Amino acid sequence: MKPIAKKKLLSDLYANAQIHQRIASYLFNVVARDKTLAARTDRLAEKFQHRAIKYYERARALECLEIDVIRDAGF
């Protein structure tokens, strides 16, 4: 696997977190407006919210590392 710059990986992690957070927010708004879709949409929104949190946690963990290049991006 090609080495990846830490800044690039951090940028990607935060971008993914923001995308998942926006999707979750949209889905939570759908739940608030339409009660017929509430149960399924709420679970889906929670999944996206959980993924966003995971991306943020990974990014924070990466920030703590004192390296500039990641060789194994299976992070």
**pLDDT for res 38:** 79
**Would 69 be classed as within a structural domain?**
no
- The greatest distance separating any two alpha carbons of the chain, rounded to the nearest whole angstrom, comes to 49
pLDDT in tens, 16-70: 999 999 999 998 888 778 777 777 888 899 999 999 999 999 999 888 877 766 6
pLDDT at 75 over 60: no
**Would 75 be classed as within a structural domain?**
no
**Would 46 be classed as within a structural domain?**
yes
Domain that holds residue 51: 7-64
Q: Which long-range contacts (CB under 8 A, 24 or more apart) does 47-51 make?
A: 48/20, 48/21, 48/23, 48/24, 49/20, 49/21, 49/24, 51/20
Q: What is the domain count for the chain?
A: 1
Reported as a pLDDT band with limits 50, 70 and 90, residue 72 is low
**pLDDT for res 66:** 74
**Would 2 be classed as within a structural domain?**
no
pLDDT at 71 over 70: no
